[in-house]
Structure 1
Amino acid sequence: MNRAISLALIFEVVVFVLAIPGMIQVDDVPIGLAMGAGGAAALVPLLAAALLRRPVGWVFAWLAQAAGLALGLLTPWMYVVGGAFALLFVVSFVLGRRIEQSTPRS
């Protein structure tokens, strides 16, 4: 489960960084605000992916989903993108837990 969620978190980093020029060009968000918000939002899933083997990594992973949705305050299309990543994360989390519980440990 950690591998799939780590990949999703890394994709979030890429998308959040690429959202910066979109915020600037499409929605006329000031450059400093776009870079600050996009950079901070990209840092959270990066930390989550790096720390996923520890309990604090899961806290950062959930915060990354909130950060993706929060970018929608600056540019509305990030509600859709952040929501898609949050849905992917929740489905991966729930299904991963079910698989881990049903797999017998040897």
Structure 2
Amino acid sequence: MRTLCSTTLISEFFVIGFAGLVAMKDPDLATSTVWTVCGIAMFFSLVLCGLVTRPGGVALGWALQIALIAAGVAVPLMYFLGVVFAGLWWASVHFGRKVDEAKARFAAQDAENGSAQADAV
């Protein structure tokens, strides 16, 4: 799960940065405010790469997805991109857990086969 979720979060890091560049063009938004908000969100996405397997990591990832959708207030394209990345986040968590379960199942089978071979010797 960690690999899929981290890939999604790293992609979001770049999308947030590009959204900051787009938001800078809006004369109603202060450049310092745009980069403060984008910087915090970018930092949060990087930190989440390490926290995704810890308790609450997935929930924090969902909080980031909601924040990306809410960023559509400043950059309307973020409504669409936020929903796309929320879908990618769901897929990363869902299929990542399935991969982790399959790996655990294969490891258990290998351990069982190894102990059966050791008993035969």
Same structural fold, with TM-score higher than 0.5 when normalized by the shorter chain? yes
Give the partner amino acid of 2:83: G
Aligned mates of 2:50, 2:18 — CA distance in 1: 20
Distance in 2, Cα, partners of 1:88 & 1:4: 9
What TM-score results when the alignment is normalised by the length of structure 1? 0.83
Shift in Å at residue 101 of structure 1?
Answer: 4.1
Given residue 95 of structure 1, which amino acid in structure 2 is its aligned partner? F
Higher alpha-carbon Rg: 2
Percent identity over the alignment?
A: 29
In 1: Cα distance, 2:43 partner to 2:60 partner = 10
- Structure 1 residues 70 and 41: alpha-carbon distance in aligned structure 2, compared to 1, 3 A threshold: farther
User: RMSD of the alignment, in Å?
Assistant: 1.8
In structure 2, runs of 5+ residues without a counterpart are 109-121
Instruction: Compare 37-46 and 92-101 and name the one that shifted more.
Output: 92-101
Q: Which runs of 5+ in 1 are unaligned?
A: none
Cα deviation, residue 94, structure 1: 1.8
2:84 is the counterpart of 1:84: yes
The answer for the alignment partner of 1:64 in structure 2 is 64
Count of residues in Structure 1 that have an aligned counterpart in Structure 2: 105
Contact 1:10–1:46, Cα closer than 8 Å, also in 2:
yes
Contact 1:48 1:59 survives alignment (8 Å)? no
Q: Choose between structure 1 and 2 for higher RCO, CA contacts under 8 A separated by at least 6 residues.
A: 2
